């Protein structure tokens, strides 16, 4: 069966709520019923058929083509299946998702993977603020799974991260790993100011020495970490070739809060 494709007809006049377009909700619907689903975020009615050309049948394989930054909540609450976005995604991409895979060829908006509990999100270009952050009404950020951002990440990447792994290929904004509780963030291109602010037990891994270091992190020397080798192997399995080696300078903090988190600066 060919993937179920949603091709955007043109820039929508309003933001679109695409949270109904996940396998669990589409399963058992015929083409007409799918085209009749509402994706409006204003009082002006907009259905799938109004803004998308729909093709294909396989609801477990969804393709969004030509989408832009107004296409919100793609794959939100996903409970299985594959989603490919050939374009950009708006806010809350894969927010609260449990399992499944989302691949975005362009950029994602704010709160990508917010409060997700499992599954994978890969964004080829940039992600907005609070990737893996706290979704509305939640008390934790990402609670499991994997987010790979090829380009830059905005502020507060991994905000209040509970579990899981985030890899940023480019630069991260301010407060990277802000208030993270646990979990791991790998920053290949450095970060803005206040990285690891309020970090409790999480690990921030820097490929290079960051330009700004919080004074509430304390140096505890260069050490060998078998964990880094395991991570490198695991990432290779995901198709990401990132050289981590086994040695890193370890800083412990944030002493302003619990102080059991760490920054590993690869050497």
**246 and 228 Cβ atoms separated by less than 8 Å:** yes
Nearer to other proteins, 24 or 40 (CB): 40
CA quadruple 4, 48, 38, 36: dihedral sign: negative
Nearer to other proteins, 17 or 126 (CB): 17
6 makes contact with other proteins (CB under 8 A):
no
- Contact region for other proteins (CB under 8 A) — 51-59, 96-104, 144-152, 249-257? 249-257
- Nearest distance, CB of residue 9 and other proteins, angstroms: 18
Q: Which is nearer to other proteins, 59 or 263 (CB)?
A: 263
Binding of other proteins at residue 238 (CB under 8 A)?
Answer: no
Positions in 110-149 near other proteins (CB under 8 A): 110-111, 129, 134, 136-137, 139
* Element holding 84 (H helix, E strand): strand 79-86
Looking at the Cβ atoms of 223 and 258, the one nearer to other proteins is 258
How far is the CA of 26 from the CAs of 95, 101, 121, 148, 261, in angstroms? 18, 16, 20, 27, 42
**Residue with smaller CB distance to other proteins, 178 or 183:** 178
Query: Under the criterion CB under 8 A, does residue 218 sit at the interface with other proteins?
Result: yes
Contact between 41 and other proteins per CB under 8 A: yes
Rounded to an integer, what distance in angstroms lies between the CA atom of residue 38 and that of residue 140? 29
State both tokens at 92: 């809350």
Is residue 221 within 8 Å of residue 249, measured between CB atoms? Answer: yes
Number of residues that bind other proteins (CB under 8 A): 40
Q: Is the peptide bond before 254 cis (omega within 30 degrees of 0)?
A: yes
Q: Residue from 53, 55, 125, 193 that binds other proteins (CB under 8 A)?
A: 193
CA separation for the pair 149, 106 (Å, rounded): 10
Determine if 207 is a binding residue for other proteins (CB under 8 A).
Answer: no
The sign of the CA dihedral 61, 19, 110, 55 is: positive
Interface residue with other proteins, options 43, 221, 237, 241 (CB under 8 A): 43
Query: Among 184, 174, 179, 173, which Cα is nearest to 146's?
Result: 184
Name the residue nearer to other proteins (CB basis): 13 or 224: 13
What is the signed CA dihedral for 79, 82, 87, 92, rounded to 10 degrees? 10
The pair phi, psi for residue 11, each rounded to 5°, is: -65, 120
Scanning 75-83, 173-181, 201-209, 223-231 for contacts with other proteins by CB under 8 A, the matching segment is 173-181
Binding site for other proteins (CB under 8 A): 13-15, 17, 40-44, 70, 72, 91, 110-111, 129, 134, 136-137, 139, 156, 160, 174-175, 178-179, 193-194, 197-198, 214-219, 254-257, 259
């Amino acid at each position: 069966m060919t993937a179920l494709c949603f091709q955007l007809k043109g820039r929508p006049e309003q933001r679109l709520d695409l949270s109904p377009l996940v396998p669990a909700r589409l399963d058992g619907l015929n083409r007409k019923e799918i085209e009749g689903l509402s994706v409006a975020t204003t009082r002006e009615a907009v259905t799938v058929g109004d803004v998308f050309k729909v093709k294909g049948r396989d609801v477990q394989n969804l393709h969004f083509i030509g989408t832009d930054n107004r296409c919100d909540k793609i794959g939100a609450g996903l409970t299985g299946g594959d989603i490919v976005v050939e374009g950009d995604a708006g806010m809350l991409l894969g927010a609260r998702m449990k399992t499944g895979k989302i691949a975005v060829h362009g950029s994602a908006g704010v709160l990508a993977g917010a409060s997700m509990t499992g599954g994978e999100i890969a964004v080829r270009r940039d992600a907005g603020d609070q990737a893996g952050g706290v979704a509305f009404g939640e008390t934790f950020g990402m609670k499991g799974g994997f987010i790979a951002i090829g380009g830059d990440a905005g502020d507060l990447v991994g905000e209040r991260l509970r579990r899981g792994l985030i890899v940023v290929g480019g630069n991260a904004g301010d407060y990277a790993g802000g208030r993270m509780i646990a979990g791991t963030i790998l920053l290949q291109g450095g970060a803005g100011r206040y990285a690891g602010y309020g970090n409790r037990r999480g690990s921030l891994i820097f490929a290079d020495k960051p330009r700004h270091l919080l004074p509430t992190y304390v140096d505890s020397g260069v050490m060998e970490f078998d964990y880094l080798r395991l991570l490198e192997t695991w990432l290779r399995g995901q198709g990401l070739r990132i050289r981590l080696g086994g040695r890193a300078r370890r800083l412990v903090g944030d002493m302003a809060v619990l102080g059991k988190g760490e920054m590993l600066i690869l050497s």
